[in-house]
Amino acid sequence: MNEQIASLVMRIVAVAALVAFVIFYVKRAGGILNVFSNFIELVNGAESAWLNAAAALIPYGVSLIPASWTFRHVMSELGFDFWTALDAGVVVELFGVVAMQTIIKFWQNNKRYTSEKSENRAPLGLAIFAYAFYLIITLIVNVVLEVVAGTREFWGIVAIGLFSLLGIPSGVLIAIRAQHKEIVDARGKPRQGNTPMISVPQIPSSSRTRRASEFRAQMLDMLETQYSKDGRILELTEITGKLKLDHATAKGFVSTLRSGWMAEKGIQKPSKSDGGFTF
């Protein structure tokens, strides 16, 4: 009886702990809708990762089919030893993948440089010739040697030929995925070159050109203060310098303002002989 009670208590505690964890997680996530949203994002992320992995691996798996047929035929029909036949099967298929990627690279390059006289154009025709040579070798080894052997019916030989041609779409997929990755990586990198990029700082609104008329009151106050102190009239350069104004553009306004102030105060300009001011 005690064991049954203890087992029941443990189950209740486990259920309570599970319910508490669920409630805590829901509250931390911000509600049940956010929980479902997080779950959907997790599923979509896992699906995307799985599909990317499959898209990267499957084309190579497809290329193994013609590679394996090449391996078998050069051993059985041509008498190659094991390691030489293995090398032939692997290298021939990898050659086809590389040739296809080269074709796509050259084709994209020549789209940018359309002039036939451009030195930047790539030899696309040679890359196509290399891939055609790969196809000829693959079909001769996998189809013609099968016909010579005479061990299979017509449709069986056709099927082997079609499997051998799977190297074409698999090579295309591998090449365009590699090209797309290069484009995406290039977008994420800063520009590089001999000329550094010059960043133009944003000029704040507070640093706009200050107009002299905005400081009329300060100018009058400066003139009054200096004249009351020692009877001297401030020079134009002193006024614009203290207010940090562009002297070339502000001197006209400052001169007019100072002349008006002097006329209002009855101050006359000093003559060159005495250098003093008169009332």
269 — pLDDT class (breaks 50, 70, 90) = low
Same domain, 107 and 176: yes
Tell me the whole-structure pTM to 2 decimals. Answer: 0.48
SS3 165: coil
Q: Is residue 94 part of a domain?
A: yes
Q: What is the pLDDT of residue 200?
A: 42
What domain range is 260 assigned to? 212-265
User: For residue 19, is it within any domain?
Assistant: no
Q: Does 173 fall in a domain?
A: yes
- Residue 216 and residue 166 share a domain: no
Q: Is 85 in the same domain as 166? A: yes
Q: Quick one: 68 and 179 in the same domain?
A: yes
d(C-alpha 41, C-alpha 26), whole Å: 16
Looking at the domain assignment, is residue 231 inside a domain? yes
Inside any domain, residue 81 = yes
Kindly state whether residues 65 and 176 are assigned to the same domain: yes
200: left (phi over 0), alpha (psi -120 to 50) or beta: beta
Residue 2 lies in a domain: no
The two structure tokens encoding residue 259: 């002349």
In 140-235, where does DSSP find H-type helix? 145-149, 154-164, 167-188, 216-230
Residues 220, 135, single domain; the answer is no
Task: Indicate whether 103 and 178 sit together in one domain.
Answer: yes
**Does 33 reside within a domain?**
no
User: Which residues 6+ apart lie within 8 Å of 212 measured at CB?
Assistant: 219, 240, 243, 245, 249, 250, 253, 254
- Residue 279: which pLDDT band, with cuts at 50, 70 and 90? very low
Query: Is there a single domain that holds both residue 152 and residue 258?
Result: no
> What angle is formed at CA 121 by the lines to CA 119 and CA 122, rounded to 5 degrees?
120
User: Of 151, 186, 221, at which residue does a domain stop?
Assistant: 186
Q: Under a CB-based contact definition with an 8 Å cutoff, are residues 104 and 176 in contact?
A: yes
Q: Which residue has the higher pLDDT, 215 or 205?
A: 215
Q: Are 76 and 155 within one domain? A: yes
Query: How many domains does the structure of the chain reveal?
Result: 2
Residue 66: CB atoms within 10 A of its CB come to 27
Instruction: Please give the Cα distance from 30 to 5 (Å, whole number).
Output: 37
Among 77-81, 175-179, 216-220, 254-258, the least confident range = 175-179
Answer yes or no: do 168 and 107 share one domain: yes
- Does one domain contain both 68 and 165? yes
Residue of 174, 104, 168 whose CA lies nearest to 136: 168
Average pLDDT value for the chain: 79
Model confidence at 66, pLDDT cuts 50, 70, 90, reads confident
Residue 52 in domain: no
Token pair for 42: 């997790």
Using pLDDT thresholds of 50, 70 and 90, give the confidence band for residue 191. Answer: low
Quick: pLDDT tens for 148-159.
877 778 888 888
Specify whether 169 is located in the same domain as 226: no
Closest to 146 (Cα-Cα) out of 81, 89, 85, 69: 69
* Owner of token pair 């078998």: 72
pLDDT band, very low/low/confident/very high, at 2 (cuts 50, 70, 90): low
